[in-house]
Homo-oligomer: A and B are copies of this chain.
């Protein structure tokens, strides 16, 4: 086992952010680890181990694990422990299928509500994306992509939809980064964002919905293809 006890007692958690509780930070840390694949599906989360590694007591770790369960990222078996579920490739495809069905709804609703200021905000985000695309900074492009979509969820003025889509979007972030690294995908995606923004600015609900569905569909196709190539390479290496 690689993970040894944190003897130096240095808390691995970002000690700077005092606005949130330890529980939340442990939750975010573990969520990130699971979504990024650092902690793998099937693995057991041992409270003591995690608390030593993170330099906190068991209490916040336990609370974080309970939160992960509600997010569907781990399964807790009473008196036995928590086993990581993570996001499989099937889950990935499934999530994009769901997004194809409801992300268009979010845009449709947003097109009905959006204000001048909100349009400006979205516009700025797309401009920035274009800038980073010219510099090939996939990480920044991904973050701005998140902001663009999250804003639309917010403008839909449907709290549950926002919550649901935000969760789904968050779950696939690891894969999305991969996606933008593909030649040409970033520019294509940004162009699609511009079109969606255009429809939103005109309050054209039908167009906004249709363009968004197409956007997600393209993202899905691109991503599944990337994954397929990725897997082939991995198999080659192994054998």
A residues near B, CB below 8 A?
A: 19-21, 23-24, 59, 62-63, 66-67, 69-72, 78-79, 90-91, 94-95, 97-98, 101-102, 105, 158-161, 163-164, 168, 171
Contacts and interface: CB of A to CB of B under 8 A. Distances in A.
Contact of A67 (B67, B101, B158): B67
A95 B158 CA distance: 8
Query: How many copies make up the complex?
Result: 2
A109 to B, nearest CB: 8
A78 B25 CA distance: 12
B20 A94 contact: no
A101 to B, nearest CB: 5
Nearest to A65: B63
Contact of A160 (B62, B72, B105): B72
Contacts of A62: 63
A93 to B, nearest CB: 9
Grouping DSSP codes into helix (H, G, I), strand (E, B) and loop, the A interface class, with mixed when no group exceeds half, is: helix
A77 to B, nearest CB: 10
A83 to B, nearest CB: 15
Nearest to A62: B63
A171 B160 CA distance: 10
Contacts of A98: 102, 105, 158, 160-161, 164
B72 A71 contact: no
B69 A161 contact: no
A132 to B, nearest CB: 30
Nearest to A159: B91
Nearest 4 A/B pairs, CB to CB: A70-B70, A94-B158, A63-B66, A67-B70
